Amino acid sequence: MKRNIISRLTFLQNLIDGIGKHLSSATSITLAGTPYPPAAIEKLLQELIDAINGGVAARTAARDAVRAEREKARALDPLIQALKSYLLGVYSDAGTLADFGLAPRKPRRVLTQSDGAASVEKRRATRDARHTLGKRQKLRIKGSVAPPTTGGPATPPGGAAASANAPKP
């Protein structure tokens, strides 16, 4: 049980105990404008406790039932897949397969030569548009570093600001 359910049940039970201990001699208690005998309040609180306990038991039973269902389905899934494959292999008639709740497999579409060529062109265009390369094309790519230029004047340490303030020879 969750902590808030436990604390609520404890609170309700403490209310019942307190009413029995301190308010049992009273003939009635007026709450929200309605008079209640202490025994009736105790009975209502006990009914709420019983309802909460019933709800907790029902949730636990439902959770256990779902867990058992999932475990059973997980255990039987390979058997069901094997049976389905067997039935699709043995029967090719749509009517017979429909009796099992199955439909025949779709036949594989054979590409014509023009469809195959169009598919290759579309694949190449997509790869070019995305700049994607295969494993071998990536191996051919090598980085290159531009060699430093040697013809111009070198800048002194400190950059251009230091060369502007330097004395002229």
Place of tokens 């897949």: 81
Tokens of 96: 């017979």
* pLDDT exceeds 60 at position 91: yes
* Residue 55, domain member (yes or no): yes
Query: How far, in Å, are 7, 24, 70, 71, 117 from residue 76 at the CA level?
Result: 42, 60, 10, 9, 45
* Residue 12, domain member (yes or no): yes
* Residue 33, domain member (yes or no): yes
> 82 vs 2, which has greater pLDDT?
82
Is the pTM higher than 0.75? The answer reads no
* Residue 35, domain member (yes or no): yes
How confident is residue 149, by pLDDT bands cut at 50, 70 and 90? confident
Partner residues linked to 31 by β-bridges:
34
Please compute the mean of the pLDDT values over residues 160-167 and round it to a whole number: 55
* Residue 36, domain member (yes or no): yes
* Residue 13, domain member (yes or no): yes
Look over the chain and give the mean of its residue pLDDT values, rounded to a whole number: 87
The count of structural domains within the chain is 1
* Residue 159, domain member (yes or no): no
Confirm if 56 and 1 have CB atoms less than 8 A apart. Answer: yes
Angle between helix 38-90 and helix 3-22 axes, rounded to 10 deg: 160
Domain limits at 47?
3-69
Confirm if 102 and 87 have CB atoms less than 8 A apart. Answer: yes
* Residue 124, domain member (yes or no): no
SS3 31: strand
Partner residues linked to 30 by β-bridges:
35
φ, ψ at 132 (rounded to 5°): -95, 145
Q: What is the DSSP letter of 75?
A: H
* pLDDT exceeds 70 at position 125: yes
For residue 160, the model assigns a pLDDT of 55
* pLDDT exceeds 60 at position 17: yes
Distance CA 161, CA 154 (A): 14
Confirm if 49 and 12 have CB atoms less than 8 A apart. Answer: yes
